[in-house]
Amino acid sequence: MRAVIFSDEKKLDNLDIDNNLPDEKGIVLSVIASGICGTDLHIIEGEGNLCGNVILGHEFYGSIDKIEAGSKVQCLNGNVEVGDFVTVVPGIICNECTYCNSLPLNENYCLNRSVFGLNMRDAKSNIVYGGNMEQIFIPEKFYLYKVPKSWPLGLATLLEPVSVAVKTVKRTLKYVENIKNRSLTAVIFGLGTLGFFIGTKLRKCGVKVIGIDPEKSRRDRALRNGIEDVFSYEEMTEEFYKKYCKNSWNGIEADMVFEAVGKPDVFAYALHFARKGGVVMEVGNFLFSGNAEISPNLICNRELIIVGSVLADANSYFEAEEILEEFVDKSSEVICNYEVDEYEQAFRSALSRTEGLKSNLIF
C-alpha cells in the first residue's frame, strides 16, 4: 500500500510498504484524506526529536474496512459499521499516570499520551505511523467520530484542527468576566488554520474580532468569512490600535488576545493589546521556538491573565462539526486537495504558509 514516509535521512518519500495490519482489536480504516498540520511541518523542519522512519498524519479520516471481531469500538456520535466514514481523535490518554488519576478531564495533560503520527509505533516494523497511508489500523482504545458522507472530499480532515480552535476559545472564555453594555472583543495574531477558526468560533459566540496577519490572502479570507477587520503588522502599530479602540471599541482594548502565529516576539507584542484584566491566550508555540522578553510590570499593573492551550478535547468535535457545516458549500476556502503522488507539492504548499489553506493528501 502507498504511504508517505518521512525517512531517517530526513526526506519525504512516497513508498509502497507491506500491509501487515495487526490482529488486535480495533478497526481497519481506508484513509480517504490526511491533512498536513503545522506540527508536521515543524517536524520536517527538524524540530521535535522523532527518530527513525515516520508516517506522519494525525488529521485523517476514512472509510471503515473492517471491525475486528469482539472489538469495543468507541464512537463519540453514534454507532458505526463497515463502510461508515470516520475520523479518529488522534490522541488517547493512558488512564494510569498521576495526571490521568487526578485530572481525568484534562486529557491533554496525560504523561503517556499515544498520538498517531507522533509516537504510535507499529509493533512489527517499529515504525511511527499516522494517517499518511492508504490503510491504517486503529486500536479499539481510540475514539472515533462519524463524518457526514455528504461533505466534500477532504473537508473532514479539519475536524481535529477546528476542535483545537474550539477548545482554545472555550478555555479563554472561562477567564473573561461578565462585561456590561457592550460586546466582547478579541484580537487574533495569525490567520492560518488555527487563527482563522478561532475567529470563526468567536464570531459564533457574538465576539467582535480583528485579525492581524502579514499575508493579504489570509486577511481577505478572514474578512470574507465574518471577521470584522483585518490588518497587516505594518498597519497595526500600537498607536493605530489605540485609535482603533477609541473609534470602534468604546476606548477599551480587547478582552481577549490570541497568539496563533507561534513566534515568541509576537507573544511579547500581543501583551500590549489586552485591556486591563484581559486574557492573553498563547496557542501558537506548541513546539519550542525560542524565548521572548516581556514586561512583568505590564502584567502586574494591567492585571493581565496569561493562559496557554494545547490540543483539543474529544468534546469539541461536536462544535467543530457545526462550524465546518458552514464550509460545505465553500470548502475551497479552507482546504486544498492533492493526490498522494503530488505529495511534494502538497508539503511545499503547506510549508509556504501563505494561503492558510489546509493541504490534504488524498489516498
Nearer to Zn ion, 32 or 210 (CB): 32
Q: Does position 103 bind Zn ion by CB under 5 A?
A: no
Nearer to Zn ion, 100 or 156 (CB): 100
Q: Residue 32 in contact with residue 62, Cβ under 8 Å?
A: yes
CA distance 240 to 214: 16
C-beta of 160: minimal distance to Zn ion in Å? 6
C-beta of 66: minimal distance to Zn ion in Å? 26
C-beta of 210: minimal distance to Zn ion in Å? 25
**According to CB under 5 A, which one of 76, 97, 176, 306 is a site residue for Zn ion?**
97
Q: Partners of 307 in the beta sheet?
A: 281
The Cα-based distances of 30 to 56, 65, 106 in angstroms read: 16, 6, 30
Query: Can you say whether residue 157 is alpha, beta or left, with left for phi > 0 and alpha for psi between -120 and 50 degrees?
Result: alpha
Using CB under 5 A as the binding criterion, the count of chain residues that bind Zn ion stands at 7
CA distance 111 to 118: 14
Task: Determine the angle formed by the axes of helices 216-224 and 193-204, rounding to 10 degrees.
Answer: 20
C-beta of 313: minimal distance to Zn ion in Å? 14
Q: Partners of 2 in the beta sheet?
A: 16
Q: Partners of 54 in the beta sheet?
A: 6, 128
Q: Partners of 338 in the beta sheet?
A: 361
Stretch that binds Zn ion, among 66-74, 90-98, 151-159, 169-177 (CB under 5 A): 90-98
Residues 2-61, interacting with Zn ion (CB under 5 A): 37, 39
Nearer to Zn ion, 97 or 299 (CB): 97
Q: Does position 110 bind Zn ion by CB under 5 A?
A: yes
CA distance 176 to 160: 25
Q: Does position 100 bind Zn ion by CB under 5 A?
A: yes
Nearer to Zn ion, 113 or 208 (CB): 113
Query: Residue 57 burial by CB count (10 A; 0-12/13-18/19+): exposed, middle or buried?
Result: buried
C-beta of 124: minimal distance to Zn ion in Å? 25
C-beta of 127: minimal distance to Zn ion in Å? 20
**According to CB under 5 A, which one of 15, 82, 94, 179 is a site residue for Zn ion?**
94
Residues that bind Zn ion (CB under 5 A): 37, 39, 93-94, 97, 100, 110
